Structure 1
Amino acid sequence: MNLFRPVVLALLLSVGLPALANSGSGDPRYTIQNPPAFAMLGDLLIARPLLLVATVIGTGAFVVSLPFTALGGGVSDAGKALVVDPAKATFVRCLGCVGEGFERQE
């Protein structure tokens, strides 16, 4: 799984970088990504299924490692890294976007 995340991240960045060039809105506090069709198609057919598999595998790994992470006090960090982050990338992110659909800029 250590190799899986960088590969998926590289895929998302290579597919989504053209979308960053077209992003923008009238409100300077928000960035709205508007990805092209090929980025959406690549995300739908390649990235989302891989991220769904990563979420399922991460959930299994989290459950198996739960007794040990509880002893070490890192349950929240392990849960975030193994379950929440892949699930967020799978279900919260807009289709073809690199990040979440609406990101607030500070």
Structure 2
Amino acid sequence: MENKSKIAAVLVAGIAAGAAAWYFLKSENGKQNWSSLVDGVKDFTDHLKNTASKQASKINDLSKDTSDYLSAKAHEASHFSDNTLNEISAKVAQDSKSLS
């Protein structure tokens, strides 16, 4: 019984696909509808490509800005630590002299 229902479902799907193919390929309305559908899909994919390209450009710009910012902060931190280390060294040297 299950096999018969599967076969019937495949048969109905095949008939529906055939009818749709005939409509879109043979009838004048179907050809116009198919052309409109293809044009709509093309416009949509072009829009998606354009949007993706713009977003990729924005991400690239943000990445560069972030990299520049982090590089500047690392440079500042390096100078701060060098200055702090020099101040501590000078203080230790001064304290060492006063103890001698």
Same fold, judged at TM 0.5 (above): no
Which structure dedicates a bigger proportion of its chain to helix?
Answer: 2
Which structure dedicates a bigger proportion of its chain to strand?
Answer: 1
- Which structure has the bigger radius of gyration? 2
User: Structure with the greater relative contact order (CA < 8 A, sep ≥ 6): 1 or 2?
Assistant: 1
Give the TM-score, by structure 2 length: 0.28
